[in-house]
C-alpha cells in the first residue's frame, strides 16, 4: 500500500486570495502534502469564532498539520507557536488562545514550541502577513518531517480568553462565542450548565433571554430539541452540533430578528 500523503488544513479570516497564497507556500515546501482549506471566511479578527470552528471541525479531519490564523496581534510581541496534541496533530498559529480549544479536543496539549528558527520561515518576513511568511512555511516543514521541537523553545500556550458561564438558581449567564452564517449564536455554556441552572428542562419550556449591551433587550424563547420544535420565525434555545447551547430563530436570523448584533453576553432565566 502506498504511503499516505501528509495532511494540512488551513482556517483563516483572510478570504480566498490570501489563503490560496498560504496554501501555495505549503505546497512549495511539501509538494506531496494534501492541503485542505477548511475555511477562509472566519469573521475578521474573530478569535473566539475561529477557535470554536477549529474545536468543532478538527476532530473530524485526518490527523495532520492544522493551521489556524486569526491574528489581530500580527507583528507585535505575540508569539507564533506550534502545538502538538495527544492525537498526534500539530496546530500552527498565533499564541492568542485560538488553537487551545481544538488542542484540548484532540487529546490535550503534549508540547508547544515557538516558531522562532529563521530556517523554517520565508527569507523575508513582513509585519502583517505571518500567515504567508511564518505559519505556512512552518506547516510545510512539519509536513516534510521536521519535529515541533526544532522550531524554537518550549512554551505554555495561552488559553482562549472567554469568561466562564455563571450558573444561578433559575438563571444562566453565558458569553457569546460566535454567530454563524444563519444568524444563530453559539454560547459558552453546556447542557450541564442548563441543568445546573434550571434542573430537568423539558422541550417546549419557555425561557426569557436578556442582555444589557450594546443596548438592553429581551426575548421569550422556548427550549427545543430541534429547530422544527419552534414555528418558522420563532426563537428557540437548543443544543448546537458542537455540544454547546445555541440561540436561534427557526428559518431566520436570531441576530436580525432579536437585535443581537454586537451582544457579547446573554442571560437565560426561567420565564
Quote the pLDDT of residue 3: 59
Give the pLDDT confidence of 12-47 residue by residue, as tens digits.
Answer: 999 999 999 999 999 999 999 999 999 999 999 999
Q: Count Cβ neighbours within 10 Å for each residue of 73-92 and write b for 16 or more, e otherwise.
A: ebeeeebbbbbbbeeebbbb
Q: Which three cell numbers stand for residue 224?
A: 427545543
Spell out the residues 6+ positions from residue 260 whose beta carbon is closer than 8 angstroms to its own. Answer: 176, 179, 185, 211, 217, 247, 254, 266
CB 11 within 8 A of CB 38: yes
CB 154 within 8 A of CB 182: no
Q: Which of 160, 218, 214, 228 is nearest to 188 (CA)?
A: 160
User: Can you list the domains of the chain with their CATH numbers?
Assistant: 7-150 (3.40.50.10790), 166-270 (2.40.30.90)
Give the pLDDT confidence of 171-213 residue by residue, as tens digits.
Answer: 999 999 999 999 999 999 999 999 999 999 999 999 999 999 9
CA distance linking residue 254 with residue 259, whole number of Å: 7
Give the pLDDT confidence of 56-79 residue by residue, as tens digits.
Answer: 999 999 999 999 999 999 999 999
pLDDT, average across residues 224-230: 97
The pairing of strands 185-187 and 245-249 is antiparallel
CA distance linking residue 12 with residue 37, whole number of Å: 9
Quote the pLDDT of residue 237: 98
Give the pLDDT confidence of 235-245 residue by residue, as tens digits.
Answer: 999 999 999 99
Give the pLDDT confidence of 141-170 residue by residue, as tens digits.
Answer: 999 999 999 999 999 999 999 999 999 999
Residue 1 has pLDDT above 50, yes or no: no
Q: What are phi and psi of 171, to 5 degrees?
A: -155, 140
Quote the pLDDT of residue 4: 84
Spell out the SS3 assignment of the chain: CCCCCCEEEEEECCCHHHHHHHHHHHHHHCCCCEEEEEECCCCCCCHHHHHHHHHHHHHHCCCCEEEEECCCCCCCCCCEEEEEECCCCEEEEECCCCCHHHHHHCCCEEEEEECCCHHHCCCCCCCCCHHHHHHHHHHHHHHCCCCHHHCCCECCCCCCCCCCCEEECCEEEEEEEEECCCCCEEECCCHHHHHHHHCCCCCCCEEEEEECCCCCEEEEEEECCCHHHCCCCCEEEEECCCCCEEEEECCECHHHHHCCCCCCEEEEEEC
pTM for the full predicted model: 0.93
How confident is residue 2, by pLDDT bands cut at 50, 70 and 90?
very low
Amino acid at each position: 500500500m502506498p504511503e499516505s500523503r501528509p495532511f494540512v488544513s488551513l482556517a483563516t479570516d483572510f478570504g480566498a486570495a490570501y489563503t490560496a497564497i498560504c496554501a501555495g507556500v505549503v505546497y512549495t515546501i511539501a509538494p506531496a502534502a494534501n492541503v485542505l482549506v477548511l475555511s477562509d471566511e472566519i469573521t475578521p479578527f474573530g478569535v473566539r469564532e475561529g477557535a470554536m470552528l477549529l474545536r468543532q471541525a478538527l476532530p473530524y479531519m485526518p490527523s495532520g498539520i492544522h493551521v489556524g490564523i486569526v491574528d489581530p496581534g500580527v507583528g507585535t510581541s505575540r508569539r507564533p507557536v506550534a502545538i502538538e496534541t495527544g492525537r498526534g496533530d500539530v496546530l500552527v498559529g498565533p499564541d492568542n488562545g485560538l488553537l487551545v480549544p481544538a488542542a484540548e479536543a484532540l487529546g490535550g496539549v503534549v508540547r508547544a514550541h515557538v516558531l522562532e528558527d529563521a530556517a523554517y520561515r520565508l527569507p523575508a518576513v513582513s509585519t502583517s502577513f505571518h500567515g504567508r511568511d511564518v505559519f505556512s512555511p512552518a506547516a510545510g516543514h512539519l509536513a516534510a518531517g521536521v519535529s515541533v521541537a526544532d522550531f524554537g523553545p518550549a512554551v505554555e500556550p495561552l488559553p482562549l480568553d472567554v469568561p466562564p458561564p455563571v450558573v444561578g438558581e433559575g438563571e444562566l449567564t453565558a458569553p457569546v462565542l460566535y454567530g454563524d452564517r444563519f444568524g444563530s449564536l453559539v454560547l459558552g455554556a453546556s447542557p450541564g450548565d442548563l441543568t445546573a441552572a434550571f434542573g430537568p428542562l423539558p422541550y417546549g419550556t419557555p425561557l426569557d433571554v436578556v442582555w444589557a449591551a450594546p443596548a438592553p433587550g429581551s426575548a421569550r424563547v422556548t427550549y427545543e430539541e430541534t429547530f422544527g420544535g419552534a414555528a418558522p420565525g420563532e426563537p428557540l434555545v437548543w443544543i448546537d452540533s458542537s455540544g454547546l447551547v445555541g440561540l436561534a430563530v427557526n428559518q431566520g436570523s436570531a441576530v436580525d430578528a432579536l437585535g443581537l448584533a454586537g451582544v457579547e453576553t446573554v442571560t437565560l432565566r426561567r420565564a
